[in-house]
Every structure is written in structure tokens, then in C-alpha cells.
């Protein structure tokens, strides 16, 4: 499964992955190549928002979020309610990010993406303490019924029903798809009259968002990524997404600083995103997640700066083609149950018989999970 970066890297080397190309006519105005690393916003004249040929604010370009991998979803309690680091703390965070970059680049094949530190102490900005909200009683019940290879202590796998949608290469879902992971953090935004398209590198999904008042779907129609509708409030794109199927997670183990591997969602979830261009190579992003049937506080909000980097390359993400983990988990689980390990001998038995032998090849747990 290409969730494991070494598998993905090997596939890319062996198969020669194809770089996507987007015609200039579909993307609005030509964008600067690359953003400066995040720090204090430069002083000067107010930023003038560029416009597309058809009169909408131009937010197109490549906006990867690999600069967020060193910032946890949840806040380290030592920061309390502080959203931003002090100068001294930020300097230390930058040094840590540089050390991570050097470690990741030291191997024959990079094992993870690296990014610069940002001043934020967490991606969650509401509640003010930066913590993921506790679950309601209903949320806890749903959590106990969730199935996934990430579920702590789970050893029995007999079919696809024992796996989550991310195991099965279906989707990471929302809001997770707009949060960082240790690799494949590319996000490309393209525009055409009346539409904004958000292309996600991880799981190769395209979110097609109408911006001209297209009627919402019937509430009975449910989708993995929900159904998005956008509109412009001045220079800000506001995207409201509903009609979720309730089969994805509010966060996942792959998101740095996540509270745990399995956090359920419900069909009642609503996600409201805001994209506001703040400079030639910067954009503010926020995402409010509302799901009162799951979250005791009703909602939480994620926010972060986006940085333009048109040099970032997005390659084919062939998750299904390389997904051997599902079969490996099932085969190994069945083998282990059919061939239980004998009880450990007593010390006296071990002295008489020489101890227990080794299990046949294949008896170990299948499906190496790789980086989490």
C-alpha cells in the first residue's frame, strides 16, 4: 500500500511516474514560483488581490502543506492558550525542523517530507487550548465500533469490513485531507468560470466546488468527501461541505499530533473552509468542523498559513495498485488463529526439552504500516 513511503518511492523509481500538467487557461493568472518560509508578515503597501479573466479572486497555484509537518494538530500543554511561539521558541522550532530535514535526507531514499517550522503552537486554534474536543457518549459508542488496522489491539481480520476507508485506499475524508501527513502533502488549486477545483496529492482526489449558487444536493445523498458549495465574500472563498456519509474519521493517526487513531464522524458533520490570499505567495486557511452528535463542544477549528510553491511536483498516487496490506493482514490473521502458538513451557520443561521451536515463515503480522 502506498501509505508506506518506501513502497511508493520504489514504485516511482521503477515505473517512472508521470507529472500532472494543468493548462494555463484553466488556472487563472500566472503565479509566482515559490513562497518565502513563514515568519512575520512583511510590512508595506496593502496587498492587491489578483483577479481571474472572468472576475473572480485568483487563488490558483500549487499550495503544498509540507511546511506543517512539524506542527502538531493538538497543542503541547506547555503553551497553554498561546496560539503563537515567542521569538526564542520559534528559533528552537526552526532548528528542530532543520534537524528533521537533515535526518530525512540522510538515507538512500527519503522516508518523509520535511518542512520549515511555523510560529503556531498547534493547527487547532479553537478551542483556545488547542486540544481536540472530548467525544459525546454517542461518539464514544461509534468509536468502539470502528474497524481499522490502526485500532489498538486488533488482531482478527477476515474481510474488508475489518478495515477503514484509508486502509482500503478509498479516501482520507474531510477534514483529514486538508491536514498534513509525513508525505504526499501536495494541494493544487485550479479555477474556471464558476468553479474551484482542489486537487489532493494523497489519494489523488479532486474536490470540484461550484461557486455560482448551484443548488445543494438532497440531504439523502451521502458522499465520502461530502458535497461542497462555495461562494465569495469579498476576496475570501468560503466553502461549506455537508452530505457526508459518516464513514470517515475526524482525524487520523497519520496527522502529526493527532489525539489517537480512531475519531468517528457522523452524517451530520458540516465543514466550513475559508481561503484568503494575503500576499503574492501566502494564503490564510481555516476550517471549522461541526459535528455536535460526536463532539462534546460541538466543533473545533483548524487554521494555518498556506505557501505557494509552483515548483512542487505531484506524482501519480497508485494506492489500489500497490495495496497488498489488506490481503496480508487477512492471510496472517487467519494463519495465526489456525496455528496458535503453544503455551510457553515451564522452566523445568524448557530444561528437559530445549525450549520452544520457531514458528514457520509467515507467522508474523502482515502489512507493515510504515511511518505513522
Pick the CATH number of 5-31+49-322 from 2.40.128.20, 3.40.50.720, 3.40.50.300, 3.30.565.10: 2.40.128.20
Query: DSSP for 82-126?
Result: --B--HHHHHHHHHHHHHHHHHHHSSSS--S------SBS-SEEE
Given a cut of 60, whether residue 232 has pLDDT beyond it is: yes
Q: What pLDDT does residue 35 have?
A: 53
Q: With 0-12 CB in 10 A as exposed, 13-18 as middle and 19+ as buried, what is 105?
A: exposed
Per-residue pLDDT tens over the stretch 249-304: 999 888 999 998 899 999 999 999 999 999 999 999 999 999 999 999 999 999 99
Phi/psi of residue 278, nearest 5 degrees:
-115, -5
Question: pLDDT digits over 318-360, tens only?
Answer: 887 778 889 999 999 999 999 998 888 776 655 544 433 333 3
- Backbone angle region of 225, left / alpha / beta, with phi > 0 → left and psi within -120 to 50 → alpha: alpha
If you average pLDDT over residues 175-196, what whole number do you get?
Answer: 95
pLDDT of residue 49: 94
The enclosing H or E element of 159 equals none
pTM, whole model, 2 decimals?
Answer: 0.80
The domain locations on the chain are 5-31+49-322
| pLDDT grade for 183, boundaries at 50, 70 and 90 | confident
Cα(183)–Cα(3) distance, integer angstroms:
9
Give me the mean pLDDT over the 89-110 stretch. 80
Q: Where residue 110 falls among pLDDT bands split at 50, 70, 90?
A: low
The residue ranges of DSSP E strands in 183-226, in sequence order, are 187-192, 195-200, 205-210
pLDDT at 34 over 80: no
Q: What is the CA radius of gyration of the chain?
A: 23
* CB 134 within 8 Å of CB 291: no
pLDDT value of residue 316: 83
Amino acid at each position: 500500500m502506498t501509505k508506506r513511503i518506501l513502497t511508493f518511492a520504489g514504485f516511482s523509481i521503477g515505473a517512472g511516474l508521470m507529472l500532472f500538467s494543468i493548462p494555463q487557461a484553466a488556472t487563472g493568472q500566472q503565479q509566482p514560483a515559490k513562497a518565502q518560509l513563514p515568519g512575520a508578515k512583511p510590512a508595506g503597501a496593502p496587498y492587491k488581490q489578483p483577479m481571474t479573466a472572468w472576475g473572480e479572486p485568483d487563488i490558483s497555484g500549487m499550495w503544498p502543506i509540507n511546511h506543517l509537518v512539524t506542527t502538531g494538530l493538538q497543542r503541547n500543554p506547555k503553551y497553554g492558550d498561546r496560539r503563537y511561539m515567542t521569538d526564542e521558541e520559534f528559533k528552537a522550532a526552526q532548528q528542530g525542523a532543520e534537524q528533521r530535514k537533515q535526518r530525512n535526507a540522510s538515507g538512500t531514499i527519503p522516508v518523509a517530507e520535511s518542512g520549515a517550522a511555523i510560529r503556531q503552537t498547534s493547527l487547532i486554534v479553537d478551542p483556545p487550548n488547542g486540544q481536540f474536543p472530548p467525544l459525546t457518549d454517542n461518539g464514544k459508542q461509534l468509536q468502539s465500533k470502528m474497524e481499522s488496522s490502526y485500532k489498538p489491539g486488533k488482531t482478527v481480520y477476515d474481510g474488508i469490513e475489518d478495515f477503514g476507508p484509508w486502509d482500503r485506499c478509498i479516501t482520507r475524508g474531510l477534514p483529514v485531507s486538508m491536514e498534513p501527513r509525513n508525505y504526499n502533502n501536495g494541494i493544487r488549486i485550479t479555477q474556471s468560470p464558476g468553479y474551484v477545483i482542489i486537487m489532493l496529492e494523497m489519494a489523488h482526489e479532486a474536490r470540484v466546488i461550484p461557486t455560482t449558487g448551484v443548488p445543494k444536493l438532497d440531504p439523502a445523498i451521502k458522499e465520502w468527501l461530502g458535497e461542497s458549495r462555495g461562494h465569495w465574500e469579498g476576496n475570501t472563498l468560503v466553502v461549506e461541505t455537508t452530505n457526508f456519509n459518516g464513514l470517515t474519521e475526524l482525524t487520523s493517526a497519520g496527522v502529526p499530533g493527532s489525539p489517537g487513531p480512531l475519531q468517528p464522524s457522523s452524517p451530520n458533520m458540516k465543514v466550513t473552509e475559508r481561503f484568503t490570499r494575503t500576499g503574492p505567495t501566502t494564503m490564510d486557511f481555516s476550517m471549522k468542523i461541526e459535528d455536535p452528535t460526536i463532539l462534546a463542544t460541538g466543533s473545533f477549528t483548524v487554521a494555518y498559513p498556506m505557501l505557494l510553491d509552483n515548483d512542487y511536483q505531484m506524482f501519480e498516487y497508485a494506492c489500489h495498485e500497490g495495496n497488498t496490506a489488506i490481503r496480508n493482514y487477512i492471510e496472517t490473521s487467519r494463519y495465526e488463529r489456525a496455528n496458535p502458538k503453544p503455551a510457553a513451557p515451564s522452566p523445568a520443561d524448557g530444561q528437559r526439552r530445549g525450549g520452544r521451536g520457531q514458528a514457520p515463515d509467515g507467522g508474523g503480522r502482515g502489512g507493515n504500516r510504515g511511518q505513522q
